[in-house]
Each structure stands twice: as structure tokens, then as C-alpha cells.
Amino acid sequence: MKLLFCGDVVGRAGRRAVCDRVPQLRRHLELDFVVVNGENAAHGFGITPEICREFFQSGVDVVTTGNHAWDRREMLDYIVRENRLLRPLNYPQGAPGLGANVFTANGGRRVMVLQVMGRLFMDPLDDPFAAVERALLDHRLGHSVDCIVVDIHAEATSEKMALGHTLDGRASLVVGTHSHVPTADAHILRGGTAYITDIGMCGDYDSVIGMEKTTAIVRFVSKLPTGRLEPADGDATLCAVYIETDDQTGLARCVAPLRIGGRLAPVWPI
């Protein structure tokens, strides 16, 4: 199976990159499944039903979120109705929507996607490690599902790496999101799980992690309240990670970053 996971989409520039590029990427790479982290897609903060529909129409199969999942209040109702939109699994009991679900990909293959949020330097949610273990009680890679993708939305690289090693051999891909900066450590762990600490963002890199740089710099320099941060709207780089899995075991056969457009040097997985 061939799968692409696109990093955090920031604002209109990131949305353009995803909606313009994903149809081409599905054809050129013969992708079976596409996941996008969309939690910054609505002007940098949250996501809306309309944006979700744009992603799905462009060929995205699943949208994950993160700490900005509830920034747009209309999502509270929409996420209950749309099971292709996921929020972190380790939100307290009673949070609307799903943190994990099983989807059907090309050829009838079953793909489980789940997301957790880290706790180091972030909101003190429930234990992400325990949440993943509970979600995997009823699903085994290569048996009940053909592919398992885990999005850990976290600040700390150590927490992301620890989850990757914890799930090694039991997931197809463990991918870090949230920092908006691509890391250079895409590789296959000893047990066969593909891993990367952070994919990076789909957004304009002439910015401060996707936000217009002048206002962001003033905040750091002055330590005073400023105007609202606005997403940078220049040419965006689409940052993603590509994996191929073994059809029998569901484990990774290869993993590689993909970066196209914008200011970052292009990287192609094949």
C-alpha cells in the first residue's frame, strides 16, 4: 500500500498547496490513501466544515487535528457527523468526535488512523501512551487491519520518539506533527514501523512557523501584546511523508520525506 501524510496545513497558502497538489500526487505516486493534518487550516487557527470538504474533494481521505481542534465552534457539531475528521484520542471522555477510526482504502484494504496529543509543554490531557494501547486492543496489524497510522501531535521530540519505539512492529507509521519544522530522521525502526519526528507544515516558510513574521518578531522583541497573528500568504511548501507497506504484514517497506513548492529545497521520495 502507498500512503502519503501531509503536515500541518497553515492558512490559505497551505490549503492551496494541498488542494492543488494532492490530485497530482495521487496520480503520480499511485497513492492508495492520503492523510492531512488540518488543525491550522482556517486562518492559522482551527478548521471549518467547508475546508474539510475542500480537502476531501481534492482526494484527502482523513483529516487529523490537534490542540486547535476546537478553535472554530462549528466543528463541535460537524466532527460528530464526519468520521473522516479526527481529534486527539486522549481528550477527556465525552469530547465530541473520534480519535481513531478504520477506513477503507483502494482494493478494500483497511486503514486504521489514530491521533494522540503529547503532554510535555502542552495541555495536560490523558496519557497518550495508554490511549493508544486501548485503541489497539481490538486491532492487530496484518490481521484485522492492513495499515495503522499514528499521528502524535506534540512539542517534545523525546515524547514523539518514545511513542514511535513503543509502537514499533505494531504500527505502519508513527508521524509527528505540530512543530511545523520538518525533521531529517525519516527511517524504519527495527521492528518495521516507519517513523519521522515531524513532517513540517504545508504553508509559507517565509514566516515564523507559518505566521506573518513582522508581528511574530515584535511579540518576541517587545514582550507586549500585539495585533492578532496572521498566516503568511506567499508560495507554500507542501511537506509530507511517503510510505509503502508490505501487503502481508502491514509494516513499512520504505519511508521518505516529500517536499514541493515554496522556499524549501524540493525532496521527492522516488
pLDDT at 270: 77
pLDDT at 92: 94
Q: Which residues of the chain are modeled with pLDDT < 70?
A: none
pLDDT at 151: 98
In sequence order, which residues have a C-beta less than 8 Å from that of residue 32 and are 6 or more positions away?
A: 1, 2, 3, 105, 106, 107, 109
Q: Which neighbouring-strand residues pair with 124?
A: none
Annotated catalytic residue within 68, 153, 178, 180: 68
pLDDT at 9: 98
Rounded Cα distance between 266 and 270, Å, is 12
pTM: 0.96
Is 68 catalytic? The answer is yes
Q: Architecture of domain 2-260 in CATH?
A: 4-Layer Sandwich (3.60)
Rounded Cα distance between 143 and 16, Å, is 37
In sequence order, which residues have a C-beta less than 8 Å from that of residue 11 and are 6 or more positions away?
A: 40, 41, 43, 44, 203, 204, 210, 231, 232, 233
β pairing state of 110-117 and 147-153: parallel
**Helix ranges (DSSP H) in 59-191:** 75-81, 128-135, 157-166
